[in-house]
Amino acid sequence: MTGQPAPAQGRVAVISGGSRGLGRIMVERLLAEGWKVATFSRSANEFVKDTLAERSEDFVWEAVDLSDRKALRQFVSATARRFGGVDLLINNAAVLNRQELFLTTSAGQVDTLIASNLAAPIALAQACARVMSTRQGGQIINVSSINAIRGYRGVAVYAATKAGLDGFSRSLARELGPLNIRVNSIVPGFFDSDMTTDVTDQNRERIQRRTPLGRLADVEEIANAVHFLISDQASFITGQTIVVDGGITC
C-alpha cells in the first residue's frame, strides 16, 4: 500500500443515479478520463441507451432501486467481478418527494426517504469498501445537501437523511483511513435538475437573493468539486464536508 492514487486509466467507479443530473455528468467525465463506470437508476433514458451502445466495454448500467439493498449489494459484486475491483463510489442518487410539511408527511414517505437517502448509501459504501479493502484502497464520496446544515421548510426528513450522511462520512473516514480509503461529503447548494423542477420562480429568486454570489449553481460547478476530490490533488483530504453553495450557508 503506497498511498499514491492509481492512474485513472482502468480505474473503476460505481456511481448511483448516473442517468441524469450530477450523476450523468460524473459518468461522462470519468468515462472520458478512461475510467470504467458502473451506474444504476430505476429507468434507462436516451443517455444510458446511447452510452451502453457506444461504450459497452467500459460502461455498465442496471435498473436498481435504492430501496432494494440486496440488489445494491449484488450490483457492487457484479461490478467488481466484471471490472476486477472498485476504486471509487459516488453515492449520488437520492429522492426528494414533493416538498411537504412535516405534520402531513406520511410514515411511508419517511421510510422511503430514509431507505433511499441514508440506508442505501450506507449499504453501497459497505459493499464497495469491502472490495476496496482487499486492494490498494479507494474512495467514497457522499453527495449531501445544504439542507443538512441549514433549516428549510418542507424538507425536514430529507434534511435528516443528508445530515446523517455527513456524520456517516466523518466516522467512516476514521475507520477506513488506515485502509487507504478516503471518505468525503460534497454539500451542493441549489442547482437546476429534474429534482428541483418543482421549485417555484419565487423560491428560486429568494435563493438567488440570499446567495452571496447572486446566482444558482451550474451543475458543472458541483461536478468540479466532486472531480477535485477524486483527483490526485485531493489525496490528503478525508473526513470533510466540502460546501459548494455560492456562500448561501456562510
Ligand X SMILES: NC(=O)c1ccc[n+]([C@@H]2O[C@H](COP(=O)([O-])OP(=O)(O)OC[C@H]3O[C@@H](n4cnc5c(N)ncnc54)[C@H](OP(=O)(O)O)[C@@H]3O)[C@@H](O)[C@H]2O)c1
152 among known catalytic residues? no
Q: Which listed residue (30, 173, 191, 225) binds ligand X by CB under 6 A?
A: 191
Distances (CA, A) of 92 to 22, 136, 153, 157, 217: 8, 23, 23, 17, 17
Q: Which listed residue (134, 194, 209, 250) binds ligand X by CB under 6 A?
A: 194
Residue recorded with cell 441514508: 118
CA gap 136, 63 in Å, rounded: 29
Q: Which listed residue (15, 27, 89, 93) binds ligand X by CB under 6 A?
A: 93
Which of 37-45, 72-80, 97-105, 166-174 is the region at the interface with ligand X (rule: CB under 6 A)? 37-45
Contact by Cβ (8 Å): 193, 219: yes
Q: Which listed residue (7, 42, 81, 101) binds ligand X by CB under 6 A?
A: 42
Contact by Cβ (8 Å): 89, 128: yes
Contact by Cβ (8 Å): 94, 117: yes
**190 in contact with ligand X (CB under 6 A):** yes
**116 in contact with ligand X (CB under 6 A):** yes
Q: Which listed residue (188, 207, 225, 248) binds ligand X by CB under 6 A?
A: 188
Q: Which residue among the candidates 40, 59, 61, 158 is catalytic per the annotation?
A: 158
DSSP tag of 117: I
Looking at beta carbons only, is 5 or 188 nearer to ligand X? Answer: 188
Q: Give the burial class of 193: count Cβ atoms within 10 A of its Cβ; 0-12 exposed, 13-18 middle, 19 or more buried.
A: middle
Active site residues: 158
Residues that bind ligand X (CB under 6 A): 17, 19-23, 41-43, 65-66, 92-95, 116, 143, 145, 188, 190-191, 193-196
